[in-house]
Amino acid sequence: MDRRERIGKTPARLDFLQSFTGIALALFISFHLLFESSILISKEAMYTLTQFFEGYYFFGQKYPLIISALAAFILLLIVVHASVALRKFPASYRQYRAFKTHMTRMNHHDTSLWAIQVSTGFAMFFLASIHLYTMITLPDQIGPYASSERIALDMMWPMYLLLLFAVVVHAGIGVYRLILKWGFFEPKNPKALHTRRALLRSIMYFVITFYLVLGVASLGRYMVIGYSGEFAPGERYHPQGAAQ
Amino acid sequence: MSEGRTLHVHILRFDPHLKDDKPRIETFELREAPGMTLYIALNDIRKYLDNSLKFDFVCRAGICGSCAMLINGRPGLACRTLTSKLDAHISLAPLPVFELIGDLSVHTGNWMRGMSERLETWIHTQKAPDIDRMEERMEPELAEAIYELDRCIECGCCIAGCGTIQMRESFVGAVGLNKIARYRLDPRDERSDAQLYQLIGDEDGVFGCMSLLGCADVCPKELPLQSQIAYLRRKMVQIGK
């Protein structure tokens, strides 16, 4: 047994950490996209949610720093998740080529899904950083007008659109793969493993589609508000009849 | 019915032991017979068309695992593949990862031996064996569970179907992890999880698996590789506590 170097606890911990940060980020994004779609209900609904997250209903005053802190924490989670997930990336052109050849040859659904996850993950190194840096530095500029201005007039929408696709696809495939990897929702009868996997995959595609439609619709709504000219640059939204 | 079709079998041919031999695709045409398997088709090719074609077989019944090859890009056993289930154009290639003997014949044996030695896939016990006594009794359910995993024929399909091992050759693959799962079940093997962790508790072992599940989808014996690897992962991650 002692022919090789002793294996410490680290590999087990890294593997756990990758899944743990992954599921935490997936949970975060699933709520984030829901909250952010409140603009589809009304500007007031989105405004109310913004105030809620800035702590207005707890402290009677807005603290945008809460948003900064949350964004910084999410960035930290992403850094941890990315650094452990990097272990799985192809580390050389030879490895990249070997995998690509194998994937094309096999024409196997779950093998190809992984390639999508690697590419979307890689894209988010850049896309998520841009978004989170804005949220950390300008936390007070979230709201029906402020967000619309950033998305439409400040030309952030192409970045948000790319980020939306990357994050929804990555999280959807990620959670599906995590379920298989750890053996959650496994059928008692091993013969049913294949049909269960097909079912999980259908659910995954449904959830991905749902969030993509929701995200694109919200993004579209912010753009309509942004280009409508109903507010002046820098102007903040206030619900009608509310105190300034 | 697909009887009487003309099959076009495209075979990747190369013998590294022949001087100046170059990898090439050769196409053989033959008449499909009722109930024909790829194994029968290959024998026909060797008998009537080209007696230099190299491929392995022993049992012809999916038990020995010798005739594993890439069939239209996916690993499978030639003897268990009916030509009627395939298109009239069939591509065959040797399994990747393993040492090539020539044409469709690969040396899975030395790879499997290396894996077995590395993972010590045998019963580890402190008790001196007493061959004059009856073996200790085992519950039938447990014996069956062990037997279920012991059905592995080491054909190499899971290794050739594994995306991870294409990139990282030192990965033990599903065949190795399945063996550890098998010995972990066996009460005669006294190794603890902490000891097994020393064999598979890193990225060459269970934490290297990326859950692409090519192994589970190509295993000709339909072993529950997906759930066995997940189970081992749950057990091994607890060692990191």
Model confidence pLDDT, tens digit, residues B91-134: 999 999 999 999 999 999 999 999 999 999 999 999 888 889 98
Does the pLDDT value for residue B157 go beyond 90? yes
Q: Which residue has the higher pLDDT, B115 or A190?
A: B115
What residues pair up with B75 in beta bridges, in sequence order?
B70
Work out how many domains chain B is built from and give that number: 2
What does chain B come to in residues? 241
Collapsing DSSP states into helix, strand and coil, what is residue A167?
helix
ipTM of the complex: 0.92
Considering the domain architecture, whether residues B96 and B138 belong to the same structural domain is answered as no
The CATH-assigned architecture of domain A16-228 is: Up-down Bundle (1.20)
Mean pLDDT for all residues in chain A? 94
Determine the Cα–Cα distance for residues B106 and B17; give it in Å rounded to an integer: 13
Q: Give the pLDDT confidence score for residue B196 in this predicted structure.
A: 96
Q: Give the pLDDT confidence score for residue B4 in this predicted structure.
A: 83
Helix (H) or strand (E) holding B140: helix B140-150
Q: Which of residues 33-62 of A touch B (CB under 8 A)?
A: none
Percent over 70 (pLDDT), chain B: 99
Of B59, B84, B106, which one is at a domain's C-terminal end?
A: B106
Considering the domain architecture, whether residues B201 and B155 belong to the same structural domain is answered as yes
Which pLDDT band holds residue A243 (cuts at 50, 70, 90)? very low
Whether the Cβ atoms of residue A124 and residue A26 lie closer than 8 Å to each other? no
SS (H, E, C) A11-63: HHHHHHHHHHHHHHHHHHHHHHHHHHHHHHCCHHHHHHHHHHHCCHHHHCCCC
Considering the domain architecture, whether residues B136 and B233 belong to the same structural domain is answered as yes
**B77 within domain boundaries:** yes
Does the pLDDT value for residue B159 go beyond 50? yes
Q: What is the pLDDT of residues A146-157, one digit of tens each?
A: 999 999 999 999
Whether the Cβ atoms of residue A12 and residue B197 lie closer than 8 Å to each other? yes
Which pLDDT band holds residue A242 (cuts at 50, 70, 90)? low
Q: Give the pLDDT confidence score for residue A63 in this predicted structure.
A: 93
Residue B18's CATH number: 3.10.20.30
Considering the domain architecture, whether residues B100 and B144 belong to the same structural domain is answered as no
Whether the Cβ atoms of residue B232 and residue A1 lie closer than 8 Å to each other? no
Q: Average pLDDT for residues A32-40, to the nearest whole number?
A: 96
Q: What residue numbers bound the domain in which B65 lies?
A: 6-106
Mean pLDDT for all residues in chain B? 95
Considering the domain architecture, whether residues B125 and B217 belong to the same structural domain is answered as yes
- Any idea where the domains of chain A sit in the sequence? 16-228
Q: Specify the DSSP class assigned to residue B5.
A: P
Of B75, B106, B137, which one is at a domain's C-terminal end?
A: B106
**B126 within domain boundaries:** yes
Does the pLDDT value for residue A244 go beyond 50? no
**B49 within domain boundaries:** yes
Considering the domain architecture, whether residues B91 and B159 belong to the same structural domain is answered as no
**B1 within domain boundaries:** no
Of B106, B141, B165, which one is at a domain's C-terminal end?
A: B106
Structure-block tokens of residue B200: 């598979």
Considering the domain architecture, whether residues B128 and B213 belong to the same structural domain is answered as yes
**B160 within domain boundaries:** yes
Residue B233's CATH number: 1.10.1060.10
Determine the Cα–Cα distance for residues B183 and B33; give it in Å rounded to an integer: 43
Considering the domain architecture, whether residues B92 and B164 belong to the same structural domain is answered as no
Burial class (CB in 10 A: 0-12, 13-18, 19+), A180: buried
Q: Which of residues 169-198 of A touch B (CB under 8 A)?
A: 177, 180-183, 186, 190-191, 193-194, 197
Q: Give the pLDDT confidence score for residue A1 in this predicted structure.
A: 43
CA-closest candidate to residue B62, choices B172, B176, B154: B154
**B111 within domain boundaries:** no
Q: CB-side exposure of A218: number of CA atoms within 13 Å?
A: 24
A118 touches chain B (CB under 8 A): no
Considering the domain architecture, whether residues B34 and B76 belong to the same structural domain is answered as yes
A86 touches chain B (CB under 8 A): no
What does chain A come to in residues? 244
A241 touches chain B (CB under 8 A): no
Q: What is the pLDDT of residues B196-237, one digit of tens each?
A: 999 999 999 999 999 999 999 999 999 999 999 999 999 999
In the block, residue with structure tokens 């056993």? B77
* Mutation for B interface: A17, A181, A197, most B CBs within 10 A: A181
**B115 within domain boundaries:** no
- Which among B214, B239, B241 has the least Cβ separation from residue A111? B214
Considering the domain architecture, whether residues B140 and B94 belong to the same structural domain is answered as no
Is the pTM higher than 0.80?
yes
**B175 within domain boundaries:** yes
Considering the domain architecture, whether residues B50 and B142 belong to the same structural domain is answered as no
Considering the domain architecture, whether residues B13 and B46 belong to the same structural domain is answered as yes
